[in-house]
Structure 1
């Protein structure tokens, strides 16, 4: 789920549909998209794959929409195979789907204000209403949507497909290396001894080494296997992670986020989970709900009990604003100070990292 409140004109279906890629972070295909309406504009935007099991997701979508207590919502079905004129069966399936969605929303006092079908969200894409009201037309150019322009100015990358977004955290084949997992396990044992002798010093070195690794990666220097091992051990320590969350609001936040993405792809389980959570936190703090969402989904699949992943997922699903997440990052600076570690200066509030 993505939350994006704006004064965007919701009364023009062609403009509303064209804005969806900018809100979701990718161009949806074969999807049911549910947009809640809050204060006269877009609220939470949720998406589910069109599939035989979609009926099971309808209740979940309605429940997610209800989290922000909207009064109404709009449904958009994206289906390249659907044609209002030549596919009566598709039309009936769409009507049944929207009827089920309408019932689920009604149970939560949410009105399904409109339901549209679009063949593709691209230049030349056409939409029509599900109930056969006769309304329809060509959608606006998605790349010229005000929300797309705002996303670009904010430094967000828009992906052609959801698969391209998921590729950011796709596991590198080297992460399956038994040798790498064994090396991290061995290094963790050695770190425990060092931590027992000097806990503050050990954590301080881990924080500073992680900041250095992010800078080196930004300079084009790939991580060696030994660096992967050390970083895997570092992010496994709760005190170190607490300090590293502060990097999300630092002037070099983009470097840190790139490091988390690399670690998410290259670290084996269970160390990968913490890299995913750090990536999710960083993305969430700068307003990139789609990347935060896929990262949290991957983390919770691996470790459903991870406390931070669960907390961030709940916050994202309930529409907690990025600026409130950034407030949590301030505690990272306090933790780093307690350890004697220096983080990059905090960036000016509201500015994109980098």
Structure 2
């Protein structure tokens, strides 16, 4: 689910469909997309695999739409096979009937439903209910929301798989080879921590900030440094302090480091990097990246507390400005540890 500021009104289906990649962060295929309308403006946008939607798994989407404050939704069915054949829409009509019933239970209505073959300039759409309306998709790259996403620093991906690749382990063999090094680093850190817990935490936070700056300058991290960072992220005080970087002037550098660690570390250590990446993305309004990061984190560590909390918040439509309030804990911990964090920023975004 992606929450977007309702800055734009859409009166043309071809324009609304063209805007979906900019909101979702990728071009949906074989999908049901629900666009919630809040007083006639674009609200939460949710997507599910079309196969799941046709199997009746739409209840959660409707619940999220209701929680977001929507009063109506537009359904967009993306299917290269179904779109060219308006007479073959029985399955889609049944789906929309089920949606209408579920929406009514949450005091919402189905404003419109369209089938589109592909979301690119010149793609064809038509209404599901046989109203006779049809047309072509406008250029997604020329959408006002696409321009806004680029200005905000968000990267748009060709497919959801391209987005998921941002957090996928790049070299599983290399990741496995780090397990022994992480164990050695943990033993060494344990001795350091016993002598001076706050000093150990302070050095770990400072090391992470320095590593983030070097990575953004094009430097590579050695395996020993990666292993040490993995151990540092396992310390609750260090990890919770580092969440504050998401709202500071060095947020982009930190996010790049978390993405690198997510692609490099083995399970379950990568879950901490994924949760940090998800928080950073969520804080700057990048719901798609936050979502795939949380999916990966919970697969790596199903009981991860922060990942579970963020996933619940994202699925319920909690706004980024509310999430950013959690960074206050990090600043308080930094003060206790004696760490000087980058200053807070008003707001900004960065793509990984």
TM over 0.5: yes
Output the CA distance in 2 between the equivalents of 1:231 and 1:141.
43
Match of 2:69 in 1: 69
Count of aligned residue pairs for this structure pair: 351
Match of 1:5 in 2: 5
Match of 1:183 in 2: 181
Match of 1:352 in 2: 349
Match of 1:173 in 2: 171
Native 8 Å contact 1:5 1:38 kept in 2? no
TM superposition shift of 1:353: 5.2
Native 8 Å contact 1:4 1:42 kept in 2? yes
Residue 58 (structure 1) aligned with residue 58 (structure 2): yes
Q: C-alpha deviations, 1:219-259, integer Å up to 9, x for none?
A: 11111100110000011111001110111112121111010
TM superposition shift of 1:177: 4.2
Output the CA distance in 1 between the equivalents of 2:117 and 2:174.
39
Q: C-alpha deviations, 1:252-291, integer Å up to 9, x for none?
A: 2111101000100111111010000000000011111100
Output the CA distance in 1 between the equivalents of 2:326 and 2:182.
29
Structure 1 runs not aligned, ≥5 long? none
Output the CA distance in 1 between the equivalents of 2:183 and 2:211.
20
Q: What is the alpha-carbon root mean square deviation over aligned residues?
A: 1.7
Native 8 Å contact 1:249 1:353 kept in 2? no
Residue 20 (structure 1) aligned with residue 53 (structure 2): no
Output the CA distance in 1 between the equivalents of 2:320 and 2:282.
6
Structure 1 residues 83 and 327, CA, compared in 2 at 3 Å: closer, same or farther? closer
TM-score (norm 2): 0.95
Structure 2 runs not aligned, ≥5 long? none
TM-score (norm 1): 0.95
Match of 1:208 in 2: 206
- The correspondence for 2:121, drawn from 120, 123, 131, is 123
Secondary structure in 2 matching 1:57: coil
TM superposition shift of 1:13: 1.0
Match of 1:298 in 2: 296
Deviating 4+ runs (over 6 angstroms): none
Output the CA distance in 1 between the equivalents of 2:164 and 2:15.
26
TM superposition shift of 1:111: 0.8
Output the CA distance in 1 between the equivalents of 2:131 and 2:265.
53
More displaced stretch, 177-186 vs 270-279: 177-186
Match of 2:44 in 1: 44
Match of 1:226 in 2: 224
Match of 1:31 in 2: 31
Output the CA distance in 2 between the equivalents of 1:132 and 1:225.
60
